Structure 1
């Protein structure tokens, strides 16, 4: 999501103070992307400041990064702390571009290579010791209801708001019943938790880093796998999706069992699209593309045959 402009504010004051202590003027910084944090970039540093005071994710994320192997590629943290009640982290800036921004300029081969390299780096995240990671990961992801009751309540809200029909909600509920039934047996691992092209760094024709681990969570790796599968099998222009499918099919074949199986993958996908749709329905300035895609995904999953993921899951 594109952040709105933040006028002179506490986060800006914090960023200015942190950069000044490291010999940089905020006037020489550019505003970066960010949804939950305010971000400024200089030639040498990136400073992220929580937009709200109090406990946030930045210091927890800073501790988590120490557990990640070098293969993940995370930029090194220079300093971190709390000022004016706002958590902040200062990192070295690594040469590269946000993958989402360069994606339109990539050909099919480069896009497939990017997906493969993203997943390879994610595999190193998934390999982190769970016992060590759970202390620093989020206790739960904001994108997924923590239990059956909360998921049912979210479906009811979407019906009340007109986002879903009664019959669609019943179909999705059946899919979630299968999810809850098998979830206890699914292996757990550290997930990036917001695994996507905006949180990927691209340089010299390849993926060099995964970024922004504030939503990292210990759960089945279906959370991260869903994002990869949707890139090739979700709604969108088939001419763009189809060339990516052989790569994603190979990734899914190697990862689906460890992810908990098809019902776990579909269940997490349903809940994420529920979150997206509810968020966009409530937004003052909704992203119509996100809303349309979430609606399409949920309508297809409600049919009970795997929805957009059916060709992958059935091998057809």
Structure 2
């Protein structure tokens, strides 16, 4: 768990949400780092607050209501809004982020954790998608999901991100994804988690106790979740918080693709899985561009490697499975 500095506005929003939930507005809670929402941790409850447009947490709660118990999502106590902010209150589940626990775990524990994570994700993927809307991020582009799909929005993203810098690369990237798009047939479609890196998974010391944060969950191809997990295995420090990323030993992740394949061989069975993963990796990389010049340069290297056939997707590390 990583703490964050607080503003008076954050405290007011917390008190407003707690009071609306029928709780003591001064209930002791600790603000923890969270990308999209303000997240407060109490002894038995977790409060998430969205102040950037009402509706995203309510959508997540509707998805959660359809999940089987095997998906390991914590119990939702209530969700609500006051037209300015919305909140979700859930039961706190014992455990710490799997990514944070990883270096203190034995290889056997890590393998078991990956198998349990795969089982929870398979339960998500098997959830009926009738009535579950796609995630339309366009009103709030700052909350673009990790993978921009299908083909039309992805081509728009290529123009948006690459176009101002190099029209020739736009042409290469457009050709790259359009040539591979026929790999995205109807196989392996279902409900995806959307962002299943290890900071969205809890480990209680013996087992995976929860799968968190379905804000980017939507009907899509299950390989979207697999691509992120393979990326974690390849570059785990990119998915770790700044307060502990330097302590991560990447060599402890080298077996993770094999563990995933043993747990869910069906995830690796599609005859054009490499082409799918290539497109998904490019999509996520383009969606990760930031204003920081160093980060942008780093992402450009990833785009160049993908288009040249030299990204981790094309390397034999996991393809020998």
Relative to the length of structure 1, the TM-score reads: 0.81
Q: Which runs of 5+ in 1 are unaligned?
A: none
The answer for the alignment partner of 2:135 in structure 1 is 138
Residue 155 of structure 1 and its aligned partner are, at CA, apart by 3.2
The answer for the alignment partner of 1:207 in structure 2 is 208
Write out aligned runs for 1:167-182 (5 A).
171-182=172-183
Structure 1 pair 252–300 and aligned structure 2 pair: CA distance change class (3 A): farther
CA shift digits 1:16-60 (9 cap, x unpaired):
1343554445362100222221111110111111122x4331011
Structure 1 pair 306–98 and aligned structure 2 pair: CA distance change class (3 A): closer
Residue 217 of structure 1 and its aligned partner are, at CA, apart by 0.9
Relative to the length of structure 2, the TM-score reads: 0.80
Write out aligned runs for 1:1-316 (5 A).
5-9=5-9, 12-20=11-19, 22-26=22-26, 28-52=28-52, 54-83=53-82, 85-132=84-131, 134-135=132-133, 138-139=135-136, 142-159=145-162, 171-234=172-235, 239-251=251-263, 253-257=265-269, 261-276=273-288, 278=289, 280=290, 282-283=291-292, 288=295, 292=298, 294-304=299-309, 307-311=312-316, 314-315=319-320
Contact 1:30 1:40 (8 Å CA) reproduced: yes
Partner Cα distance (2:258, 2:320) in 1: 12
- Specify the SS of the correspondent of 1:79: strand
Structure 1 pair 43–259 and aligned structure 2 pair: CA distance change class (3 A): farther
Partner Cα distance (2:43, 2:315) in 1: 46
Residue 295 of structure 1 and its aligned partner are, at CA, apart by 4.3
Partner Cα distance (1:185, 1:23) in 2: 46
Partner Cα distance (2:3, 2:277) in 1: 30
What CA RMSD, in Å, does the superposition of the two structures yield over aligned residues? 3.3
Partner Cα distance (2:170, 2:215) in 1: 31
Partner Cα distance (2:106, 2:192) in 1: 28
Paired residues in the alignment total 303
- Specify the SS of the correspondent of 1:91: strand
Range 34-43 or range 259-268, more displaced? 259-268
Partner Cα distance (2:64, 2:273) in 1: 28
